[in-house]
Amino acid sequence: MKTSNFKIYKGDQGVAICLYPPLDWFGAQFPALEPPRSLFFARKADQIDDKEYERQYREQVLKKLNPREVYETLRGQVLLCWEPPGEFCHRRIVADWIKEELGYDVPEWQPGDDDEKINIHPLF
């Protein structure tokens, strides 16, 4: 499992975990990791900061999920949303959650990573 954004990652292992994937996105989606609309719009309107967004995302989304099941379902996939690498983003909250709960690193995808093709699950 890795993370990236729609602009950078163009491979065939991408899974959208955002509310609004690109209009031309025909790849896999994993709605269980989407932020609630109210949380998404509160952050976009600067009504909450990154710290509060993370707290609420963990409470409203991640707390309801089994990290082992999420990891096993998405192992070998690249979790995608919109923000550029290094900017605050819920895909990195998911990556941190997997690390905290299971001890697995979930790095940001880099060009050349697709050459590895290990533990790929064509589930979608």
**What pLDDT was estimated at residue 122?**
45
For residues 93 and 115, what is the distance between their CA atoms, to the nearest angstrom?
26
pLDDT surpasses 80 at 123: no
| Cβ-Cβ contacts under 8 Å for 31 (sequence gap 6 or more) | none
Q: How far apart are CA 34 and CA 85, in angstroms?
A: 18
In this structure, the chain runs to a length of: 124
CB 106 within 8 A of CB 95: yes
Give the mean model confidence (pLDDT) for residues 77-95. 96
Please tell me whether the overall predicted TM-score, pTM, comes out greater than 0.85 for this model. yes
- Adjacent-strand bridge partners of 80: 4, 16
